[in-house]
């Protein structure tokens, strides 16, 4: 499909999605409304339980994570372009300082860390089709572009 090719090209161009040993980019065959149930839990943007969107075979999300003063996280790829970040279900703040999150696995991720893990990308999707809760303020109001991260497989401090 043309839309899948465009998404794959954008992902490669921004170096946010790395595809090692595969021809396909992130999985985009699932209906977005069935793939996401995005909400804010104490201000952290997360996917709903059982709604984890994963990348295609061999796809990985890679980059440096950071959090802004509003509590919105982003992932910056090698090209320097930052994309909004949606954490896996069960992710919570580590402390009231709001500079790190703890994943449901117990792993802590601090602002400035380099990470790599499974994930997918939504590029220019209509917010209304993605099951995004109204309390989510870290994504666009009409169309959204974001990285949906699974549990990272590698995290290094910068």
pLDDT, residue 158, reads 64
pLDDT, residue 61, reads 84
pLDDT digits (tens, 9 = 90+) for 58-77: 467 889 999 998 899 999 98
Q: What is the DSSP letter of 3?
A: H
94/11: higher pLDDT: 94
d(CA 150, CA 141) in angstroms, rounded, equals: 24
Name, in order, each residue with C-beta under 8 angstroms of 96's C-beta and a sequence gap of 6 or more. Answer: none
Asked whether the beta carbons of 138 and 76 are under 8 A apart, the reply is no
Asked whether the beta carbons of 63 and 11 are under 8 A apart, the reply is no
């Amino acid at each position: 499909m043309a839309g899948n090719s465009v998404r794959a090209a954008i992902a490669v161009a921004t170096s946010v999605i790395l595809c090692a040993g595969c021809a396909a980019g992130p999985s985009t065959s699932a209906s977005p409304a069935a793939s996401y149930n995005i909400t804010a839990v104490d201000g952290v943007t997360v996917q709903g339980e059982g709604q984890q969107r994963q990348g295609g075979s061999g796809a990985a999300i890679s980059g440096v994570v950071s959090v802004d003063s509003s509590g919105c996280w982003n992932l910056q790829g090698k090209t320097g372009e930052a994309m909004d970040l949606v954490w896996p279900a069960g992710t919570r703040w580590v402390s009231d300082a709001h500079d790190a999150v703890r994943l449901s696995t117990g792993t802590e991720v601090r602002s400035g860390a380099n990470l790599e893990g499974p994930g997918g990308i939504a590029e220019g999707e209509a917010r209304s089709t993605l099951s995004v809760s109204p309390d989510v303020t870290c994504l666009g109001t009409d169309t959204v572009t974001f990285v949906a991260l699974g549990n990272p497989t590698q995290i290094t401090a910068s």
